[in-house]
Amino acid sequence: MAQRYVRVQNPEGQIYYGLLQLSFKVQVLDAPPWLQGQSTDLILEPESYHILAPCAPSKIVAVGKNYADHAAEMGTEVPTEPLLFFKPPTSIIGSGAEIQYPPQSQRVDYEGELALVIGDRAFECTPQEAQTKIWGYTIANDVTARDLQKRDHQWTRAKGFDTFCPLGPWIVREVSPAARLQTFVNEDTPVQSACIDQMVFPPDFLVSYISQVMTLLPGDVILTGTPLGVGPLHPGDHVRVEIEGIGRLENTVTARQAV
């Protein structure tokens, strides 16, 4: 099994980066692993921590319509270059946390995705250089208020609600280009299923392209797009995104009360 890098919190509120062992003990690091964090003598027992999203990025850069079949199901052409948008860091939650269905929306969708974690400052890098800037890989769910996306004609509100970026549960250093991404809602039949090599623009190209626009910093996250099969979530649903070689990201949906 690949090494799994986690970010956890103890009951006193202290947050640690660490290496998850097969026993589910956590070998604590003295810094985030992409900042050359080294192992310490501190070991956290399985019952002594709560798992968080595996990083705390300065920004989340997401890519729209990066699978041809998904672009078709949205009734649009495949973009000729990556279609970029932001999700705020406040939208991040970890595996096991609740997605809050906002009262402003009547249609909230799941979008299972592969997420890249940047390990080194990247600005105007080539695709070849970009590959060295990707420190690892995790799983994301780009939760979207679809009705608001259509109403607003831009995506900030629809993509930006708190809890709309489940991320995790951990980071691995490598993933096979042929790894399969699957999303499940309440049952064992996938509602999304695609190999990540079906992306229109692959990870190294995306990092290079984004770096021509903005500086990517260590710990930043890039969401690489969702495949065919997006659909609605409802309060009470359990949604699970799996990627071979990484693991599974699981969340439940609850209704957020109107103010």
Q: What is the pLDDT of residue 221?
A: 98
Task: Find the helix or strand (DSSP H, E) in which 69 lies.
Answer: helix 68-73
- Per run of 10 residues, the mean pLDDT along the chain (length 259 residues) is 94 97 97 97 97 98 91 80 97 98 97 98 97 98 97 95 98 96 95 96 97 98 96 98 98 90
What beta strand segments (E) does the chain contain?
A: 4-9, 15-20, 26-29, 39-44, 50-51, 60-64, 83-87, 92-93, 98-101, 108-110, 112-118, 134-141, 144-145, 165-172, 180-185, 192-195, 221-223, 231-233, 238-243, 247-255
Residue partners of 135: CB distance under 8 A and separation at least 6: 33, 34, 117, 118, 119, 120, 171, 173, 218
Q: What is the pLDDT of residue 257?
A: 82
In this prediction the pTM is 0.96
Q: What is the pLDDT of residue 79?
A: 85
Distances in Å between the alpha carbon of 226 and those of 15, 20, 110, 122, 171?
30, 27, 9, 24, 19
Q: What is the pLDDT of residue 44?
A: 98
Contact 88, 160 (CB under 8 A): yes
